[in-house]
């Protein structure tokens, strides 16, 4: 499992991609006010991805869209 964080002026997006036992890769996202630790309200993507890089690209795109909408 790997974690990444991207930030806007007011919020942080905590992204996680992990291997889901032979099924592929699953991704989740948690948006919190800037500086706070990852919360319990995760947005789990409903897709199992065949490749890790595709999972990262998708969750990062969603994170940037969510952060942009919070401005």
* Interval 37-70: pLDDT, tens: 877 777 888 788 999 999 999 999 999 999 999 8
Q: What is this structure's pTM?
A: 0.84
Query: Number of helices (H) and strands (E), helices first, in the chain?
Result: 1, 4
Q: What number is the average pLDDT over the span 16-28? A: 86
Helical (H) or strand (E) element with 59: helix 52-69
How do residues 6-16 score in pLDDT, each as one tens digit?
999 999 999 99
């Amino acid at each position: 499992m790997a974690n990444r964080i991207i930030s806007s002026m007011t919020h942080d997006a905590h992204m996680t991609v992990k291997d889901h036992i032979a099924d592929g890769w699953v991704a989740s996202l948690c948006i919190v006010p800037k500086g706070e630790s990852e919360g319990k309200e995760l947005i789990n993507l409903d897709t199992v991805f065949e490749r890790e890089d595709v999972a990262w690209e998708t969750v990062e795109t969603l994170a940037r869209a969510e952060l942009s909408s919070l401005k």
